[in-house]
Chains A and B, each alone.
Chain A
Amino acid sequence: MRYRFLLLLWLLSDLLLFLGSFALAYFLRVGFIFSSDFPFAPFIAAAALASPFWLLVLATTRTFALGRRQKTLRNLAYIAYASIVGCALFALLYYFLYDVFFSRLLIVFAFAISAGATWIWHVLFETMLRIALTKDPPQFPTLIIGVTRESRRLIALLKCSRNPLFPVAILDGLGVKEQEIESVPIRGKLNKLDDVLVQERITHVIQCSDLEQSLNLLSACRSRGITYMVLPSVFGIVERDEKIESLEGHAVTVVSPQRKWWEWFF
């Protein structure tokens, strides 16, 4: 519930930010007056009409996904792409509605401001979101399966970056002597799975080892409406050079031979 409310707030704030960016571009280009030659009202109305489509394009880039880091260049590229589409939609809508064109520089301003402002806002909102979602009790209590180097690193990373997926318990197929990792308790072997899923109200399970139990972990997750994740290292892909691609419409994990950077397309 907390997450849904915050997500809705995020979407609404993005809409307002898009409109604000266009308004700012208008005032920067036209001057801080309401021009009678280029009236503000039809301009902002066209921007308002374009804004839901822009938001839809932005959403398809999965920038609002729970695990997405906002501060990355890749994310900035997605946001810029959505802004280009938003500006193009705005220009088209304005032409169709009023049958006129206007300053091309204003469009450039609108693009630069909306892309930049959205990115900065997303970085800030992500920080607030992470604080809100990891506050006790965490919104997404996560169970880690397997005590391995990879799972230790993952737990440390999740905790350090205040990821919304908050590790609350660890189980290991064979059992280990340690009592906890990064203050996350090791609750025992997989025979405790059902108890832990219920007691900790687990929403996400991340499998880091015990490949032979994948089917059973997935079965337990499906039956309880829990999101299941698996690290590529469980399948032996430890070099982090895997990609998820599509093979005749089926998602497949791909590890390609290493190539020179200029050969990436071919």
Chain B
Amino acid sequence: MQTFILAGGFATRLWPLTEKRAKPLLPLAGKTIITHLLEKIPSEIPVTVSTNAALAEGFRRWKETIERPVELIIEQTRKDEHKLGALGAVAAWIEASHLDDDLLLLTGDNYLGFSLEEFLRAFHPPHALLAAHDIENLAHASSFGTVLTDPSDSRRVIGFEEKPKEPRTTLVSTGCSILPRTALPIVREFAAKQPENVGGIFEELLRQNVAVDCFTFHEPWLDIGSFASYLQAHRLLVGEQALVDADATLETTACTGSVSVAAGSRVIGSELCDTLVFERCAITNCTLRDCVIDEECVLEGVDLRGKMIRAGTVLKLG
């Protein structure tokens, strides 16, 4: 089996945090989102990460910090409109690497709470397998690919609808799936027609009578696509504590909720609540609540609530 992680999105909803870094490289509880994912993949499975030229440098630096070998595929595009599309990137890699193996397909901006080993054990080729989670909210389900299972066998997928206007279920696909080697020609063929539609491949497999199994999990799952979901993921992983890097300084500062302070940052005389402070920031006499402060910011005497602050911002109360 081979693993392919999709990490080429421009993550516009998380601007300005993603102005110069890819979403999977956002820090989360002391490591990047993609590192959390990587650590779950059994070490014997080779991993390939697909990104684009605009975000490549960050991934090269990240690759140097991790302990296991990872192959980087750089799509030579710098703009959203020029991208191959997520499924297009998968198909291009399958073709280029002459892949003839089962494929574990993951999206780099998801946090998966379940064990991937357990997921792999649920894979029975030539069936495809997808991980699904019950989000228990029908209205929200329209933002995801919904999974309809057989009422008599909840492990068997009988329908898949990508972002339906009127969802029929709250069970949604989570960006974690296994495509058996026998299904790869279908992937290539479908990607040629709909290169953006990753979820659509399951509709296509079912249409071509390829059995798709469902692995339903109840552990936490977070699709980190927005500021709110990023803070939610941070709360989930950090809990009610302050995670302060050994190279960071915290002086006369009160922390409540989930707080992270990264290396090189200095927080003095402030109040932090549910806040992430990235590297090399200087925060003095501030009250920050539900904030993400990007690298090298200097904040003095300001109260902020629910803000993502761009790297290098200087805010000093006049």
A residues with CB within 8 A of B: 173, 175, 188-191, 193-194, 212-213, 215-216, 219-220, 222-223
Given A190-B15, A190-B16, A193-B19, residue A223 in contact with residue B307 (CB < 8 A):
no
Whether B12 lies near A190 (C-beta < 8 A) is yes
Contact B18 A215 (CB under 8 A): no
Please report the C-alpha to C-alpha distance between residue A191 and residue B16 in the assembled complex, in whole angstroms: 7
The interface on chain B, measured as residues whose beta carbon lies within 8 A of the other chain's beta carbons, has a size of 18
| For the complex of A and B, 4 pairs with smallest distance between CB atoms | A219-B313, A216-B310, A189-B12, A190-B15
Q: Are B15 and A220 in contact (CB under 8 A)?
A: no
Chain B 74-98 interface 0/1 with A at a Cβ cutoff of 8 Å (1 = within): 0000001000000000000000000
Which residues of chain B are near A189, meaning CB under 8 Å?
Answer: 12, 15
Select the residue from A188, A215, A222 with max chain B CB neighbours within 10 A: A215
A188 CA to B10 CA, complexed, in Å: 12
Give which listed residue, B80, B307, B310, contacts A188 with CB less than 8 A.
B80
Contact with A along B51-82 (1 / 0, CB 8 A): 00000000000000000000000000000100
Roughly how many angstroms separate A190 CA and B10 CA in the complex, as a whole number? 11
Do the beta carbons of B312 and A223 come within 8 Å of each other? yes
A216 to B308, Cβ gap below 8 A?
yes
The contact of A191 among B18, B304, B309, B312, by CB within 8 Å, is: B18
Chosen A-B contacts, 12 in total, with CB atoms closer than 8 Å, are A191-B11, A191-B12, A191-B15, A193-B15, A193-B19, A194-B19, A215-B304, A215-B310, A216-B308, A216-B313, A219-B310, A219-B315
B314 in contact (CB, < 8 A): yes
Complex Cα distance A188/B309, Å? 20
**B interface residues (Cβ-Cβ under 8 A, vs A):** 10-12, 15-16, 18-19, 80, 304, 306-310, 312-315
Contact A215 B10 (CB under 8 A): no
Q: Which residue of A lies closest to B20 (CB)?
A: A194
The answer for the CA separation of A224 and B308 in the assembled complex, in Å, is: 20
Choice from B12, B309, B314 contacting A216 with Cβ under 8 Å? B309
In the docked arrangement, what's the CA distance between A189 and B9, Å? 14
Shortest CB-to-CB span from A170 to chain B, Å, is 15
* Cα distance, A66 to B159, chains bound together (Å): 62
Residue in chain B with minimal CB distance to A222: B314
For the complex, give the distance between the alpha carbons of A215 and B16 in Å: 11
Tell me the bound Cα distance from A194 to B312 in angstroms: 13
Residues of A within 8 A of B309 (CB): 215-216, 219
Chain B proximity of A207: nearest CB distance (Å) = 14
Say whether B16 contacts A216, CB under 8 Å.
yes
Bound-complex Cα distance A99 to B303 (A): 62
- Report A-chain residues with C-beta under 8 Å of the C-beta of B304: 215
